[in-house]
A and B are shown apart, each in its own frame.
Chain A
Amino acid sequence: MKEGEKEIELIKKGKRLDGRGFEELRPIKIEVGVLKRADGSCYFEMGNNKVMAAVYGPREMHPRHFQDAKMAVVKYRYNMAPFSVDDRKRPGPDRRSVEISKVSREAFDPVIIKEYYPKTAIDVYVEVLQSDAGTRTAGINAASVALADAGIPMKDMVSSVAVGKIGGEVVLDLSGVEDNHGEADMPIAMVARTDTITMLQMDGHFKKEEFERGLKLAMDACHKIYELQRTALIERYSKSVGEGEE
């Protein structure tokens, strides 16, 4: 809990404020290939979160001394639009976005086959346009699809979701109000095919059993998100081939 906040009843009659059950995701909408200039892109909605991801590359790495002779360098920029939050966010990177960019990039490190493209850069840009808790996880989900759309070779996609604790209950995919008044928040990212965790953060108060239960819940949800990501990609590409657009 953000200490001492006014008590808000987050659970009423076994339901959450938005009517969801404890283990229910918010509605997800995925659109693939939404930007013309980017090599790959994805628009992703998760509840009231609206994020856009774009991928450029593999392309020449500038400045050159950052090149890696053995593999591509993946860069990841998580950025919030100034109007994406209640109190306008000052444009540009802050400490929070620097950290999120780092852990998000690391979430993709195990899956991107960087050895195929030495000396290049693969740029992943994530813009949060509207936020309602869980933007880093929405960003990772979007970036995954955008990377696939860009044709970047990957061992698998990455799927991401948060679990948390509200009113003493472990619940999936916190909304903004739940995050602000909840007791714990734990975003994770997972590779569905191998069930391996590539990002894990936690803050708040979790007993060990709650943590274990939360992790399982989040991993199950990642499988669901993975299917949605996969379906969105298949739909996008079966369509263009069928209609002979490209």
Chain B
Amino acid sequence: MGLEIMDDIRKDYVYDVLRSGKRVDGRGFREYRAISVERDVMKRAEGSALVKIGDTEVLVGVKLEPGEPFSDAPDKGIIMTNAELVPMASPEFEPGPPNENSVELARVVDRGIRGSEAIDLEKLCIEEGEKVWMIFIDIHVLDNDGNLVDAAALGAIASLLNFRIPNERYGLTGEDSLPMRDTPVAVTTVKIGGDVLADPNLYEESAATSRLTVISNADGALSGMQKSGNGELKEEEIAEMVEIGIEKAKEIRENYLSNFL
């Protein structure tokens, strides 16, 4: 219950500072915190990335295993995205089965990867109808200081940009890598009062009424979107958020992913 009081204090603080035209950490309204992407950080994983956005820290690992294809897609590999909000990452996270927040996080990241068709699923077919590669994208949140979605999505695509196919481990032969066809990047903005802010930190997230994640591809087309939170958005606010989304995704792609391509 103590946390709720802290929540109110945080919200008031964010509002007060915004009223004077500033953000709590002094950033511009469309400015991200410092981003870092470190790749291949975990050697047991077929692909991995540690992403930091400010103090938010997310580790993403990609594992591959052969498995049976779905009956309606016998020649296609399978993507499974999962997110764990482990209790070490926040006093508000509790151990236990996935809750709606971790499910939403995983599904939004998954949506961007799928919508962009970054992964050529047919190339993951080992034997039609019998065996395909299953790609597990596991999002491990280590420190939550807000905007987990963007960090997780960036970690996911960074890990995927250079994963190994573990043929040898399973006695198989074939290509050892799979180039990505696109680089979807998620950009989240929040609405607080009448203001739209990119990359909300934890304080701003708790003060925000609505949040919109916009995932866009290298060509600027949208591959996924998700509104979250208890508030409502006007058409022009959504337009602004989409515009910021596409613009920022381009920057992030150029600055943090292009060196992996």
A: residues with CB less than 8 A from B are: 2-4, 95-96, 98-99, 101-103, 106, 109-110, 184, 186, 191, 194-208, 211-212, 215-216, 219
Contacts and interface: CB of A to CB of B under 8 A. Distances in A.
Residues of A contacting B: mostly:
mixed
B42 interface: no
Given A103-B104, A205-B217, A208-B222, 15 more contacts: A2-B73, A96-B107, A98-B103, A101-B100, A102-B228, A103-B226, A106-B230, A194-B232, A195-B234, A196-B232, A200-B233, A201-B225, A202-B225, A205-B222, A212-B239
A98 B100 CA distance: 6
A213 B222 CA distance: 13
Contacts of B228: 102-103, 106
Given A99-B103, A102-B100, A102-B104, A211 B222 contact: yes
The 3 closest A-B pairs by CB, nearest first: A196-B232, A202-B225, A109-B230
B60 interface: no
A242 B230 CA distance: 39
B122 interface: yes
A199 to B, nearest CB: 6
A127 B217 CA distance: 35
13 contacts: A4-B73, A95-B98, A95-B103, A106-B230, A196-B233, A197-B227, A198-B232, A200-B212, A200-B227, A203-B115, A206-B221, A207-B221, A208-B221
Contact of A208 (B116, B220, B232, B233): B220
B232 A186 contact: no
A220 to B, nearest CB: 11
Given A106-B228, A200-B227, A95 B76 contact: no
B246 A208 contact: yes
Contacts of B217: 205
A197 B238 contact: yes
Given A3-B117, A196-B232, A198-B232, A99 B104 contact: yes
A186 B225 contact: yes
Contacts of B115: 184, 202-205
A200 B232 contact: no
A203 B225 CA distance: 7
Given A4-B121, A106-B229, A200-B212, A215 B223 contact: no
A64 to B, nearest CB: 13
Contacts of A196: 232-234
A37 B37 CA distance: 55
A202 B222 contact: yes
A184 B229 CA distance: 23
B76 A200 contact: no
B230 A203 contact: no
B231 interface: yes
B229 A203 contact: no
B242 A208 contact: yes
A201 B100 CA distance: 16
Interface in B183-222: 212, 217, 220-222
Given A203-B115, A203-B223, A211-B222, A4 B100 contact: no
B221 A205 contact: yes
B111 interface: yes
Interface string B63-74: 000000000010
A221 B116 CA distance: 28
A87 to B, nearest CB: 8
Nearest to B71: A87
